[in-house]
Amino acid sequence: LAFLTPGIIYFLLPFLLWFLNNKLVKYPPDGSAMTKVWKIITVAFKYNKGNVFKKGFWETAKPSNLREQGITTFLNKPISAQWTDKDAEDVRRTLVACMVFLYFPIYNCNDGKI
């Protein structure tokens, strides 16, 4: 029973997708989010001169702040077309949330695993 129930659900999913195909909202692919992330990180490092500990490090990567400084293009394309202030804030929040995992190597070394 532990394998039968998930197996039945798993094998019924293609029929469910076929039945709901015309009701699904389909969006065209718009590229990888990682390209935006790397561009935002690159701009933040470039205009902070690599000083990660500077207050407002991520603020400098926002298009509104770059526009105030007179910077409107990155790699010969307008910055506002490449990412938004919300994208830069999302990158900041994601990296802050991932800092929790920096503790794991220290924990494993102290716990006698290495």
Percent of the chain with pLDDT over 70: 97
Q: Which of 47-51, 71-75, 88-92 has the highest mean pLDDT?
A: 88-92
Rounded CA-CA distance 77/58 in Å is 20
Residues whose CB is less than 8 angstroms from the CB of residue 41 and which lie 6 or more positions away in sequence, other chains included:
61, 91
Distance of CA 109 to the CA centre of its chain: 29
CB distance 39 to 74 below 8 Å? yes
Predicted pLDDT at 79: 86
Mean pLDDT, the chain, whole residue set? 89
Answer whether 0.75 is exceeded by the pTM.
Answer: no
Convert the pLDDT of each residue in 1-47 to its tens digit.
899 999 999 999 999 999 999 999 998 987 888 989 999 999 999 99
